[in-house]
């Protein structure tokens, strides 16, 4: 008996995907667990396994096809000895997928055609009902007001257009088709050097755009900034790395992750997310860390940071970052999290404000450490200062809670030995 291979939901937020590459071809024999395709989701490109033993009887979706809905058939798996003709769903499934986009495009065209034809029919009915109606001379041009206005705007002679409406009346669609046909007949000389490049947006890029727009329009952001002296932190980091014998290398970012977790334990009201009817307060500190990858960014999660030491955090972060850049993260490694960190300090960015990663309540933006003059005991001295900015969703976190979190964070950063206790 044939089995439909369906577009899988590879993450909780996935609604559709792009079939990037087939790893099998029609007629190939597969067993359960074999890799059969690569799917580009809203987060990463992931490999899909065969769900059963059998033979790939029919591939319904071509490589590169976009916007394939979750649970839509993408291939037919036949049992041993079964012929494709015995399958009842393959033709219908393929036709459904092929016509889905076409139907959406045709809806708009048909609506416009109906509007124009109704307008033209109403005008003719009105004229024919008049007692003094007389046949109109053949050299007169019949045209709807909308089509006439568009033709005038585009400087088109109405006599050049053949109407498709009643009595040869020119409709809007006739003007549109004339413009398209005229454009196709023109020979456009391309410039010797193009000054731009058109790049098609990936599924990840579109998802990032949708989530950021949703975050900025739905979550009332407010921002709190604070300067931290990281001289002592840099000394502790150097000392720890000297003792590592090259077995590990702790980064400033690793210590920022640990300090954030420690501050969240001190201020649990900042470790929260918005859920419309409820606010969720997390017991564990699962820190999402922004990682730049080809085509966008992703936020792998270091879970239970409160129970991890700096070495574990460092190793965990490096492994997740490498998997993210290779597009090999599993959904459970990037979906969820209770708090986010975005660090652009390595690029020399002094300070910035990050967009909240919904439904989380906060994200910490970390700038670079730089030498600045500061006043200590009424004397000016030079210290390495790092500016951090906390973006808060005011539905979840109030100003006092955000300020308390930053105060605790600053204390752990400037007294790093407290993180090691």
Would you say residue 75 has pLDDT above 80? yes
Q: What pLDDT does residue 92 have? A: 54
Q: What pLDDT does residue 57 have? A: 87
Query: Could you report the per-residue pLDDT of 291-338, keeping only the tens digit for each?
Result: 999 888 899 999 999 999 999 999 999 999 999 988 888 889 999 999
Residue 332 lies in a domain: yes
Would you say residue 86 has pLDDT above 70? no
Catalytic residues: 394
Q: What pLDDT does residue 131 have? A: 47
Q: What pLDDT does residue 185 have? A: 65
Residue 61 lies in a domain: yes
Q: What pLDDT does residue 180 have? A: 83
The residue from 68, 88, 108 where one domain ends is 88
Average pLDDT score over residue span 205-229: 93
Query: Could you report the per-residue pLDDT of 104-115, keeping only the tens digit for each?
Result: 445 545 655 655
Cα–Cα dist 368/384, whole Å: 9
Q: What pLDDT does residue 276 have? A: 86
Query: Could you report the per-residue pLDDT of 325-335, keeping only the tens digit for each?
Result: 888 888 899 99
Q: What pLDDT does residue 272 have? A: 97
250 with 350, same domain?
Answer: yes
365 with 219, same domain?
Answer: yes
What DSSP state is assigned to residue 358? T
Confidence of residue 80 (pLDDT cuts 50, 70, 90): confident
| Averaged pLDDT score across all residues of the chain | 85
The model's pTM: 0.65
Average pLDDT score over residue span 137-165: 82
63 with 153, same domain?
Answer: no
72 with 149, same domain?
Answer: no
35 with 175, same domain?
Answer: no
Considering only CA atoms, which of 405, 410, 403, 415 is closest in space to residue 387? 410
Domain with 63, as residue range(s), is 3-88
Maximum mean pLDDT: which of 57-61, 94-98, 251-255, 273-277: 251-255
21 with 164, same domain?
Answer: no
Residue 193 lies in a domain: no
The residue from 39, 55, 88 where one domain ends is 88
Cα–Cα dist 295/245, whole Å: 36
Q: Two tokens at 97?
A: 């997928």
Counting the structural domains of the chain, the total is 3
Cα–Cα dist 219/391, whole Å: 11
């Amino acid at each position: 008996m044939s089995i439909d291979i369906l577009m899988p939901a590879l993450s909780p937020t996935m609604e559709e995907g792009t079939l990037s590459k087939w790893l099998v071809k029609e007629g190939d024999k597969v067993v359960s667990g074999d890799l059969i395709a690569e799917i580009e989701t809203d987060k990463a490109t992931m490999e899909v396994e065969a769900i059963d033993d059998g033979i790939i009887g029919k591939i319904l979706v071509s490589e590169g096809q976009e916007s394939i809905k979750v649970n839509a058939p993408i291939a037919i798996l036949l049992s041993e000895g079964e012929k494709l003709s015995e399958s009842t769903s393959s033709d219908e499934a393929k036709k459904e997928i092929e016509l889905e986009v076409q139907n959406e495009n045709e809806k708009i065209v048909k609506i416009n055609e109906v509007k124009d034809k109704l307008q033209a029919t109403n005008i003719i009915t009105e004229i024919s009902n008049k007692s003094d109606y007389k046949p109109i001379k053949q050299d007169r041009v019949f045209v709807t007001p909308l089509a006439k206005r568009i033709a005038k705007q585009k400087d088109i002679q109405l006599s050049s257009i053949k109407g498709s409406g009643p009595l040869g009346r020119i409709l809007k669609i006739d003007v549109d088709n004339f413009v398209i046909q005229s454009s196709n007949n023109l020979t456009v000389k391309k410039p010797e050097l193009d000054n731009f490049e058109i790049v098609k947006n990936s599924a990840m890029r579109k998802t990032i755009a949708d989530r950021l727009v949703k975050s900025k329009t739905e979550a009332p952001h407010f921002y709190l900034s604070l300067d931290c002296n990281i001289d002592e932190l840099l000394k502790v980091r150097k000392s720890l790395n000297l003792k590592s014998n090259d077995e590990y290398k702790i980064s400033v970012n690793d210590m920022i992750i640990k300090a954030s977790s420690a501050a969240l334990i001190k201020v649990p009201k900042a470790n929260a997310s918005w859920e419309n009817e409820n606010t969720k307060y997390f017991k564990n500190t699962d820190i999402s860390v922004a990682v730049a990858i080809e085509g966008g960014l992703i936020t792998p999660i270091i879970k239970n940071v409160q129970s991890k030491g700096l070495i574990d955090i460092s190793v965990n972060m490096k492994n997740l970052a490498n998997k993210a850049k290779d597009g090999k993260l599993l959904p459970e490694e990037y979906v969820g999290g209770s708090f986010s960190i975005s660090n652009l300090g390595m690029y020399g960015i002094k300070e910035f404000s990050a967009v909240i990663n919904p439904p989380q309540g906060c994200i910490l933006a970390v700038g670079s450490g730089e030498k600045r003059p500061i006043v200590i005991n009424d004397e000016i001295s030079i210290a390495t200062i790092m500016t951090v900015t906390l973006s808060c969703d005011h539905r979840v976190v109030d100003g006092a809670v955000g300020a308390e979190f930053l105060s605790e964070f600053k204390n752990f950063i400037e007294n790093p030995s407290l993180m090691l206790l």
